[in-house]
Amino acid sequence: MPLHSSEALVLRTYRLGESDLIVVMLTRDRGKKRGVAKGGARSRKRFGGALEPLTHVRMAYQEREQRELVRLQDADVLGSPLTAGGEACTYASYFAELLDEWAPDNDPQERLYRLGVAVLEAMRVGVGAERLARYFEYWLLRLQGVYPSTHACPQCGASLQGGAVLEPRSHWFLCRQCASHGQGVSVPAAALQFLAEAAHVAPAALGGVNVSSEALGQLAAAHRLLLVWHLDREPRAARVLREINP
């Protein structure tokens, strides 16, 4: 069996029998892989904290033809959300769950991989979790080609600079004149300005972007609607976050 070594982001783990773990990881060069960590459920000595969600690792694994599961040999931690403290682990689980939902198996997705690594590094240098969450959701949906235009109303062509409404049926951002009265999620101009800046800065620089918690909260509601529409459900970690920050 050839031995491969690759940088990867751990997305999630689940038990296989009494002592082993299945590890889902997004590798930098070979896409999403599933592997068996022998003894990973019974003892953490071999892998340490390398199997926590969104941990950046260099993973060595063996792969056989016609086998879905690779065999994990060892992992060196390159970056961990455990060093960020606070609610970082819960947010890390949220980011990892969304990456798992969108990354296809065995298909290199370097842009998704780089997004995850960049957000992890921003967490480790203290960028606010709410800012990072909105940035991550925006870029994830944008990379999939499903984030609606924030520049002009698709119905009348008017600029959305003054704010918009996310229409729940079409999932477009409409100007306030075209939006159905009493329906949709209002997105203020400050939230759209945040997205405009997020399109051009690295996540580690988000601390310097001026945006209110109210604007981020309204943007969170809009992103929740978009994510549920595209996934047909609300991510489990998103529900946990809403319970923590109602």
pTM: 0.93
Number of neighbours of residue 99 by Cβ within 10 angstroms: 25
As given in the structure block, the two tokens for residue 107 are 């298909």
What are the extents of the domains in the chain?
1-126, 136-246
The strands making up 173-174's β-sheet, listed across from edge to edge, are 173-174, 163-166, 185-188
In this prediction, residue 182 carries a pLDDT of: 66
Mean pLDDT of all residues in the chain?
A: 91
Tell me how far apart the alpha carbons of residues 108 and 120 are, in angstroms, rounded to a whole number.
19
1-126 has which CATH code?
2.40.50.140
Which residue stretches of the chain have pLDDT < 50? none
pLDDT digits (tens, 9 = 90+) for 177-229: 999 776 899 999 999 999 999 999 999 999 999 999 999 999 999 999 999 99
DSSP line for 31-86: EEEEEEETTTTT-STTTTTTTSTT-EEEEEEE--TT-SEEEEEEEEEEE-GGGT-T
Cα separation, 211 vs 225, whole angstroms: 21
- Identity of residue 99: L
